[in-house]
Homo-oligomer: A and B are copies of this chain.
């Protein structure tokens, strides 16, 4: 049992690579908490993302099995994206982060505010 055991087994860096970056987290949250969306809907709700970027991020998420892409053979074309079961299971992680923020960060901001008021 080497002393590196934990770091080697820890998937945190891999997970951060999968859902890190400027847009992936927002995309996932929309699909997880609001359900299936079309390409255009996603683009509107993400406020500022370009088609190029949205396509690239969705492809990356799909490749990692977090997003499912469904193409409908219609005119005009329709493509829907949804969170996979694996992605839905990330809710727990979001909640853990949320709790950590409440317990160890919000109070800090409050303390600072109080200090400034003195």
Contact = CB atoms under 8 A, between A and B. Distances in A.
B93 A100 contact: yes
Q: Could you tell me the dominant secondary structure of chain A's interface residues?
A: helix
Nearest to A105: B11
Q: Oligomeric state, in number of copies?
A: 2
Nearest to A6: B33
Interface of A: 3, 6-7, 9-16, 20, 25-26, 29-30, 33-34, 65, 85-86, 89-90, 92-94, 96-101, 103-105, 108
Given A12-B29, A85-B104, A92-B99, 11 more contacts: A7-B30, A11-B100, A11-B105, A15-B100, A15-B101, A16-B25, A86-B105, A89-B103, A90-B100, A92-B100, A93-B96
